[in-house]
């Protein structure tokens, strides 16, 4: 694949782009030191001067390696002078980025992967769009990343201690994880979540899959109103759904205890499982319906013409092809049940206290740092489930011929 020849940009352009990037970095550093305006000015001026100076070099590529190492060293020293070891780490990241960015702009490499006929405005939008997308990603992921190191805090604080900022080993500990795995309250709530979420997922997948298959038939009347009703639990505010479930499942619980003689604890589990299944069904319906869009109906007709009954046709022909959508819906339903706290507060009792309920209690009453360790564990579980979901999505596309194998 050939690379388009590029022309070296002007010094003013390189300086302006470098100053803009430096201003953003200066805003971050300045905000951390309660001087955002000063940080913007210093960052823009310093990086802009460096970009302008390097752009005047006739053969920038020949001086790139040594210059980038020099920029990296300067940033590491400056970061260490400002904030110690933590500042040096941040300085190394900034130094690596600016060493790459200035030469990427100054040598015109930013135009190499683009079509030569693009106007400057189109080039600007091409990279502006990516910067916006990256900023949104950082905005969404930063709150999660902050929790991870805090879960190893040796102190019972929700903030970074001076020892942690200095990367002192004494500032880090696994005691919050130890408390989670040894504390009876946390373990009981974790067991309840592991009991409730799988059963709720099984019910949601069973009912949601059947509903999606039924609604995919062309002869079903009033499909749109029915679909709107079925997915309403994910649209209606959760507090309203929880209030309605409280009154409805109270009657169900009284009937189960009075007519069938079930214990109050078992009745509580049944109510919470059914309530969480209601919340998970819309996710299953949506994912399975999306999978059925590309399903070839002639396969089921061919199976029927060969003498297969509807049940055999479903499990032998239809189910294997829509399995990625079913499993994706199951993962969403499981996550919804495992992370839900509002409904279980209304419907359940103390014996059905789930892990999110225990975390909510820890924030409201005890302010237990163990919550940070639990949050980190849940993040790991969510990452594993989402990775599985992505692999299933790719498999579904391959089976439907939408992407190469």
Q: Which of 330, 249, 348, 242 is nearest to 288 (CA)?
A: 330
Overall average pLDDT of the 64-77 stretch: 89
Average pLDDT estimate for 141-148: 84
Residue ranges and CATH numbers for the domains of the chain are: 11-117 (no CATH), 183-399 (1.10.3720.10)
Query: From CA 262, how far away is CA 268, in angstroms rounded?
Result: 10
Q: Under 8 Å CB-to-CB from 224, ≥6 apart: which residues?
A: none
268-309 pLDDT, tens digit each: 899 999 999 999 999 999 988 888 877 777 777 788 778 777
pTM beyond cutoff 0.75:
no
Q: Alpha helix (H) ranges present in 151-263?
A: 162-165, 175-182, 184-215, 223-230, 238-259
* Residue-averaged pLDDT of the chain: 84
Is residue 2 scored above 60 in pLDDT?
no
Per DSSP, what are the bridge partners of residue 153? 172
Quick one: pLDDT at residue 85? Answer: 80
Task: Tell me which of 123-127, 183-187, 343-347, 396-400 is least confident.
Answer: 396-400
Q: Once rounded to an integer, what is the mean pLDDT over residues 4-17?
A: 77
* Residue pLDDT, tens place only, 99-110: 899 889 888 888
pLDDT interval class at 141 (50, 70, 90) = confident
The set of residues, in sequence order, having a beta carbon less than 8 Å from that of 170 and lying 6+ positions away, is 154, 163
| Residues 331 and 388: beta-carbon distance below 8 Å | yes
pLDDT digits (tens, 9 = 90+) for 175-184: 889 888 888 8
Report the pLDDT value the prediction gives residue 96, as an integer from 0 to 100.
92
- The mean pLDDT value for 28-38 works out to 83
């Amino acid at each position: 694949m050939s690379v388009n020849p590029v022309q070296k940009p002007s010094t003013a352009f390189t300086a302006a782009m470098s100053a803009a990037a430096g201003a953003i970095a200066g805003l971050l550093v300045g905000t951390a030191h309660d001087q955002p305006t000063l940080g913007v000015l210093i960052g823009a001026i310093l990086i802009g001067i460096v970009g302008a100076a390097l752009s005047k070099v006739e053969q920038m590529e020949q001086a790139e390696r040594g210059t980038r190492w020099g920029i990296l060293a300067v940033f590491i020293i400056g970061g260490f002078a400002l904030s110690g070891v933590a500042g040096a780490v941040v300085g190394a990241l900034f130094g690596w980025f600016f060493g790459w960015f200035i030469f990427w702009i100054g040598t015109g490499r930013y135009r190499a992967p683009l079509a030569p006929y693009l106007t400057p405005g189109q080039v600007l939008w091409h990279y502006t769009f990516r910067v916006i997308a990256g900023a949104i990603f950082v905005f969404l992921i930063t709150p999660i990343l902050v929790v991870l190191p805090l879960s190893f805090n040796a102190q019972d604080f929700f903030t970074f201690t001076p020892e942690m900022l200095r990367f002192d080993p004494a500032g880090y500990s696994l005691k919050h994880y130890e408390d989670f795995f040894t504390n009876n309250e946390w373990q009981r709530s974790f067991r309840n979540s592991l009991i409730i979420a799988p059963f709720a997922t099984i019910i949601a997948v069973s009912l949601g899959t059947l509903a999606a298959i039924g609604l995919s038939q062309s002869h079903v009347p009033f499909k749109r109103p029915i679909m709107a009703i079925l997915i309403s639990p994910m649209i209606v505010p959760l507090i309203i759904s929880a209030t309605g479930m409280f009154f409805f499942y109270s009657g169900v619980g009284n009937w189960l205890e009075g007519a069938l003689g079930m214990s109050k604890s078992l009745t509580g589990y049944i109510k919470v499982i059914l309530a969480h299944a209601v919340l998970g069904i819309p996710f299953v319906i949506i994912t399975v319906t999306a999978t059925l869009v590309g399903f070839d109906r002639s396969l089921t007709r061919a199976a029927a013409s060969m003498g297969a009954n509807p049940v055999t046709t479903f499990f032998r022909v239809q189910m294997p092809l829509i399995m990625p959508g079913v499993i994706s819906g199951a993962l969403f339903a499981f996550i919804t049940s495992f992370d839900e706290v509002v409904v279980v507060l209304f419907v359940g009792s103390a014996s059905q206290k789930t892990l999110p309920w225990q975390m909510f209690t820890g924030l409201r009453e005890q302010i237990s740092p163990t919550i940070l360790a639990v949050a980190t564990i849940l993040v790991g579980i969510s990452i594993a489930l989402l990775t599985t979901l992505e692999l299933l999505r790719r498999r579904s596309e391959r089976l439907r011929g939408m992407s190469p194998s």
